[in-house]
Amino acid sequence: MTSSDTRPVQTIPPEPSLSPVRTIKPDRTQEPLVAFRDSVLLSLDNLQSAKEGLLLTYRTGDMTRVQQKADEFVLMVRRSSELSNVPTKMDFVRLNYYDYVDQTSQFAKNFKEGADRYLASDKASATSFFEAGIMASDRADISEKRIRTFLSEHVLQVQINQT
């Protein structure tokens, strides 16, 4: 071809490869109990840290911020309320997880209502709601401890081969 030749060059696309694609399963998901344990513990960690953040904000006395964080926490609890892929023999975890979610939901609702009442200058009612919220938080902590203890005793620790 010369530089004055303007004919288009036709290229033939290569034929698609039909070889199978190999995928590597992560070690953690090979055992369903370990995957379940990890997902439950991650949910608990996230909810616990958000709950502690709300309690710390309450202790600072910034009721407007408490109101905002309580609204966010209500949504977070709602999103975390379903426990999927529960393996057999994990009913104890399932029941305690739903109790935990119920108690954290009560905690969040009480703190939201307490902040609303405090900002509306009804400090006596607000105190009652905050106290009820703290009691719900304590009951949630009991359920969380039960879950963690059960999982540590009944799900074997899996070592990941790092070679």
What whole-number distance in Å separates Cα of residue 130 and Cα of residue 117?
A: 10
Task: Lowest mean pLDDT of 18-27, 46-55, 124-133, name the range.
Answer: 18-27
What whole-number distance in Å separates Cα of residue 152 and Cα of residue 29?
A: 17
* CA-wise closest residue to 33 among 101, 89, 98: 89
Q: What would the pLDDT profile of 92-106 be if each residue is shown by its tens digit?
A: 999 999 999 999 999
pLDDT of the residue at 105: 96
The model carries a pTM of: 0.76
Q: What would the pLDDT profile of 56-112 be if each residue is shown by its tens digit?
A: 999 999 999 999 999 999 999 999 988 888 888 899 999 999 999 999 999 999 999
Site of tokens 């009612």: 125
**Cα dist. 62→8, 111, 115, 131 in Å?**
72, 12, 9, 17
Site of tokens 């840290």: 49
pLDDT of the residue at 54: 96
Q: What percent of the chain has pLDDT over 70?
A: 77
In this structure, the number of other CB atoms found within 10 A of the CB of residue 24 comes to 5
Orientation of helix 91-119 relative to helix 32-60, angle to 10°? 20
Pick 15 or 53 by higher pLDDT: 53
Q: Is residue 51 within 8 Å of residue 107, measured between CB atoms?
A: yes
Q: Which three-class secondary structure state does DSSP give residue 100?
A: helix
pLDDT of the residue at 83: 85
Question: Which domains are seen in the chain, by residue range?
Answer: 30-154 (1.20.120)
* Six-digit token string for 97: 């997880």
Mean pLDDT of the chain: 85
What whole-number distance in Å separates Cα of residue 150 and Cα of residue 54?
A: 27
Q: How confident is the model at residue 31 (pLDDT cuts 50, 70, 90)?
A: confident
Pick 117 or 35 by higher pLDDT: 117
